[in-house]
Amino acid sequence: MPLEPAIESGDRSHTLAPVESVAQISSMLLDTDPTLDPALAEIARATATEGVVLLTNDGTLPLGERTVAVFGRVQVDWFAVGYGSGGDVKVPYIWNLLAGLRDAGVRVDDDLATRYSTWSAENRPVFTANWGQWPHHFPEMPIADAEVAAAASRADTAVVAIGRAAGEARDSILEPGSYYLTPEESALLDAVTAHFDRVVVVVDAGNVMDLSWVVAYGDRISAVLLAWQGGMEGARAVAGVLAGESGPSGKLTDTIALSYEDYPSAPNFGHLDVNVYAEDVFVGYRYFETFAPDRVLFPFGHGLSYTTFDLSTTVTTDAGALTLEAVVTNTGAVAGKEVVQVYTGAPDGALGKPARQLAAFGKTGLLAPGASETVRLTVRLDDLASYDDAGATGTRSAWVLEAGEYPVFVGTDVRSATRVAAFDVPETRVVRTATEVAAPVLPFERLTLARAADGSAVVAHETVPTRTVARADRILTTLPAEIPHTGDRGVDLADVAAGAASLDDFVAQLSDEELSLLARGDVTMDSPLGAAGNAGVLGGVSESLRAKGVPPITTTDGPSGIRLAAYASLLPSGTAFASTWNVPLIEELAALHGQEMLRKGSDVLLSPGMNIHRDPLCGRNFEYFSEDPVVSGRIAAAVVRGVQSTGLAACPKHFAANNQETNRTRNDSRVSERALREIYLRGFEICVREAAPRVIMTSYNQINGVWAHYHHDLATVVLRGEWGYEGTVITDWWIEESADPDFPALADNAYRVRAQVDVLMPGGVKRDGAPQAYADTSILDSLARADGLTRAELQRTARNVLGLALALKPVVDARTLEG
């Protein structure tokens, strides 16, 4: 169960001091020390700052020397993060907006501030103890029109704070207080805009909410700031942007449409049992820029600054890549940062293609007025290929560049990017052949592109290709060879680490029981083998394995911080991370976060979350990055590189197509192979190729009828076979019971091991839908049958897990000695 999120006053009375040695770990794990590394706090604040997106501004921002009346209870009861395992960090402090504004030197109307602070203290937010039933919003403080008028007599500018939250097992809903404004919030905006000439609205959220009211209020609202949930320092960062201490430089990683119904996923989201991904590859801006540009309120990549920039771009092309040099010049009066975004188009062909797709991006450093910086970006032409899952181009199951012209657009958002170059593909070229994976079993109609008589894009539909590959044959032809069993020969895992023995020598010693133990965690969360409050432990879960040198490996929830009994930093949400568009900054933050993991006793951070923002209602979008797989993949790779630079492990999740929280453990994502590869797997592929994560977590849902934790096509064929992944694959916590449809002698964990999903976490099983704190015998039962799981498959899983143990062993051993 999650801890109740800390909603604190934001008065930072805590002394921040660095933890300077591993020797301090024991006291930290006793849950007595609230001090945090000030360097991590500072970069968390910088990240939250760069993740703030300024949507509109008539010049009212920055606030400067004006006296400001702050409305909305969220100024005190700030949503610092979303709900569930991705946000339940025991944090010693959380800034709120009111405290942040005062800290930034903004002259706040004290009478109104006292009114809100007093009322909030007397009307604390109510959190139910039931998982997934936390509030989407907090009811507003009643305020009379006369009080608003009185505030307007004391202050010339109003700031209205509106807050929303969602999270794990808690999708947003199409109701006031979630996706829509409440009547009380609308009444507050009515009153404030009636009495103030300058009104700034701050939206504190982790997910996109309805912003059609921005149009309805028109110039009565002077500025709108989208403050993605920024963790413990988030509200302070937002206040700094409002005050002008820092300029806004965040960019949207999602399209904000005029209405929810405009999103192409809207008809096929929220269903309990099945969601059909009928929009196919036309997700987010890919749909809007192709078919419905007039239904966009704020385009993908949008974000204003307090200054202005000029871009001058040079493009060169060779046989394999585009090289772009964009000279960015600050033409305004204050310092700022800008994001260069590169999009490509594609010719009409056998495969319907979006009008624009993001190909590359880069962010400048802080540019003083008049200063320039050259942003250099490279785009591999092969990365622009489309996946042909039907053979329409003449080659099925292949990445294909169709013949024709590919325009290149450069700018600061998808809509304003202008054409700067083009390259021609003289004839259709197969970039990479693959193999059919995870194809739909049942046909459905997917969206594709057609042209009207005037050449404009119109929506068309076609039937998705269905599965043709026999899974059983694929598996049987690729079963591994067994390592002959030798029994215990005294080979320690340290001997393998030192090169005195091979990993096969070590695995050959292990009994069937020991092999099966490596395929599950230590049965329960908060294992006594790891730091207090851990998510689970794997690896050395038995005395016999530990006697052979296999260390217990402690996992902890992320992505917004380390979820333990000890105090830890609460970091910005995934959406805030991505909205920075700043890969080096995220990597630097993740490296410092890795240092905190070392101090706190975490070996594997269950982060980054990197599923696609397919629909704005998905409750867990705050943990994820974007509707675009390139943004998602590159930001995720930065997190992984940063964490793993400390010698520890990061664990991207949830593999794959976890795009809805409602009934997430039973829901079936029905998606074409093309959309799966181009949209929902693409970010994971980028992350694997660029950062080599040591662990990957599967998702709860089914993909075309097969649960992700049993999905041989995804875990073995794609992840390991095509992408060359060499790490460990773990389940999300607990799995659904199922028998292998092709091999009756395999069920549950034996079925999982055959798929090469290595470890059941936390190690216990579900009975009658409820987690149980004991292990089952499905692996050993199947192993004992002639037609069951083979010992070689179990050895393969053991090798994957022991590879992780070897990678982490120096760090784990050092912690044990120091602690």
Residues pairing with 83 in the sheet:
167
Give kind and range of the element (H or E) at residue 539.
Answer: strand 536-539
Tokens 């501030």 -> residue? 113
732 catalytically annotated:
yes
- Non-local (6+) Cβ contacts of 615 within 8 A are 263, 265, 266, 269, 659, 660
Half-sphere exposure of 485 (CA within 13 A, CB side): 12
Residue in the structure block whose two tokens are 């993060």: 81
756: left (phi over 0), alpha (psi -120 to 50) or beta: left
Provide DSSP, 338-385.
-EEEEEE----SSS---S-EEEEEEE--PBPTT-EEEEEEEEEGGGGP
**Which among 397, 377, 375 is positioned nearest to 386, based on CA atoms?**
397
Helices (H) and strands (E) in the chain, counts: 23, 32
Pairing of strands 372-380, 321-330: antiparallel
Helix, strand or coil, per DSSP, at residue 66: coil
Q: Exactly one of 254, 732, 740, 758 is catalytic; which is it?
A: 732
Nearest to 659, CA basis, from 722, 709, 702: 702
List beta partners, residue 537. 554
Specify the length of the chain in residues.
819
The residue with tokens 């030192």 is: 498
The label of the residue with tokens 């024991």 reads 26
- Tell me if 368 sits within 8 A of 333, measured CB to CB: no
Q: Which residues of 262-276 are buried (b: 16+ CB within 10 A; e: fewer)?
A: bbbbbebbbeeeebb
- Count of alpha carbons within 13 angstroms of residue 280, beta-carbon side: 26
Do residues 654 and 262 make contact, with C-beta atoms less than 8 angstroms apart?
A: no
Cβ-contact 351, 392 below 8 angstroms = yes
CB 157 within 8 A of CB 200: yes
Instruction: List residues with catalytic annotation.
Output: 732
